[in-house]
Amino acid sequence: MKNKILKYLTEKYDLLKSKLAQLNLRQKLGKLNFATAIFALGGLLAIGYFLTSLFTLTDNAYIVRIQTPVSSKVAGSVAEVLVKNGQVVKSGDTLVKLNSDNYRLLFEAADAQYEKGLISIKALSKKVDLTKHNLQAAKENLEILKNQYRQKNHPSVKGGIPQIELSDLKHKIEAQANITAGFADQLEIDQYEVEMAKNNLTVLKSARDQAEIVLNDSTIKALTNGQVQNVFLGIGKNVAPGETLFTLVNSGNAYVQANIEETDLAGVKQGDKVTVYPRIYFGSKSFEGVVVSNPFGITRQITQPFTGNQIIATENKWLLLPQRLPVIIEITNADPKYPLENGMSAYVRIRSQ
Distance of CA 27 to the CA centre of its chain: 72
Name the strand (E) or helix (H) holding 117: helix 101-152
What are the pLDDT digits (tens) for 153-182?
777 776 677 888 878 888 988 998 999 999
Pick the CATH number of 70-97+220-248 from 3.40.50.2300, 3.20.20.80, 2.40.50.100, 3.40.47.10: 2.40.50.100
Q: Beta-strand (E) ranges in the chain?
A: 56-64, 67-71, 76-81, 88-89, 94-98, 219-221, 226-229, 238-239, 244-250, 255-261, 273-278, 287-293, 302-303, 310-311, 324-331, 345-351
H-type alpha helices, 218-325 = none
Does the 56-67+250-351 domain belong in CATH 2.40.30.170? yes
End-to-end CA, the chain: 90
pLDDT, residue 293, reads 87
Q: What is the distance between the alpha carbons of residues 103 and 212, in angstroms, rounded to a whole number?
A: 8
What are the pLDDT digits (tens) for 7-51?
555 665 566 566 656 656 555 545 545 556 566 666 665 555 555
- The torsion angles phi and psi of 303, rounded to 5 degrees, stand at -120, 150
256 with 62: CB under 8 angstroms? yes
Q: Which residues of the chain have pLDDT under 70?
A: 1-55, 158-159, 314-318, 353
Residue ranges of the domains in the chain? 56-67+250-351, 70-97+220-248, 101-204
- Mean model confidence pLDDT for the chain: 85
